[in-house]
Amino acid sequence: MMTAGKQKGIEAIADEGGVIRAAAMDQRGSLRRALAEAKAVEPETIGDEVLVEFKSAVIQILSPYASGVLLDTDYGLPATRARQEGVGLLLAYEQSGYDNTQPGRMTQLMPSWTVDRLKQEGAQGIKLLIYYSPFEDPELNQQKQTMVQQVGAECVEQDVPFFLEPVGYDPGGKLSRLEYARKKSEVVTAGIREFSQDQYQVDILKVEIPVDLHFTSGTRWSEGHETAYSHQEALALYRRAAQAARRPFIYLSAGVSSVQFRQSLEMAVEAGVPFSGILCGRATWQEGIPVYAREGLCALEDWLSTSGVSNIQGINDILALACSWKNFRQPGISPDKT
């Protein structure tokens, strides 16, 4: 049974209907690189103050349209104070990127931070990202599973909800994008199944869309591509991934465009899967990066107030059909339903 503290935390991050409409702004290294590319400079020339300014603008303008926001402690703490009153706060526990000195894309926790300290900074939920694939070395996966258990135990001790984000990858790094698309649903489903188990004490799973629309027949992104699955096969893969869930789950946008993410969510609705919302970042604000790089803060604020708001509102329209996290039940749908 969920404790009062965990329930209070999720309620703070969800809307009144129990749907999580959260805006993600915890990008660090990837944001610095994107800003550098837009400015045609080296990443090390992008100062920390630039990331702080960008994050604060995004949160100030877009948080009124979100039920919660996700930020980091490296550059995002000033932005926590820019969010609209009543909007919930998630803080990321992992460092940016992963340890590339060893195999397995191993996540590292933020040094000098604990769940207790994140909670003291105002976190109403804790987010951890791990890279996970059932095709990875079992010993490396065991290390990742142990980390998740440890963070889950910390969250229990502090009575704060635990949001886990398992992100799939190709361990060998040799698959083409089409080949990985054919395996993606298996990778996503395995992560959902594994971390739904009770020993991890995860409260909300933040999961990937189980298909790649670039290789789904009938989408605008598949034109000119060999496809990995038909539309009906893609819907079945949504259902199969959902059936593995024993916890409420929300979708991440994985950096696709706003239009593509909306179609991904529309397919989830069509498939009848009981997702409880989204934690979406770049799909809403990434097109503002070149605007900021070329024209500065005022131009970014203008773009966010128009195009950025339009992006997030378009996603919110689809979330009217999402399910409350409180009403999550194990899906009874058949993966072969058409």
Q: How many degrees, rounded to 5, is the angle at CA 203 between CA 198 and CA 208?
A: 100
pLDDT digits 0-9 by tens, 33-58: 999 999 999 999 999 999 999 999 99
Domain ranges of the chain: 4-327
pLDDT digits 0-9 by tens, 244-293: 999 999 999 998 999 999 999 999 999 999 999 999 999 999 999 999 99
Pick the closest to residue 118 from 80, 63, 68 (CA basis).
80
Residues 6+ apart with CB under 8 A from 143: 104, 106
User: What pLDDT shows up at residue 331?
Assistant: 59
The label of the residue with tokens 């039940």 reads 329
Would the pTM of this model clear 0.85, i.e. be above it? Answer: yes
The rounded distance, in Å, linking the Cα atoms of 219 and 132 is 28
pLDDT band at 122 (very low <50, low <70, confident <90, very high): very high
Pick the closest to residue 122 from 170, 156, 76, 171 (CA basis).
76
Per-residue tokens: 148: 């998740």
Give the other-Cβ count within 10 Å of 270's Cβ.
13
The rounded distance, in Å, linking the Cα atoms of 181 and 13 is 32
Pick the closest to residue 28 from 82, 98, 95 (CA basis).
95
Report the CATH number of the 4-327 domain. Answer: 3.20.20.70
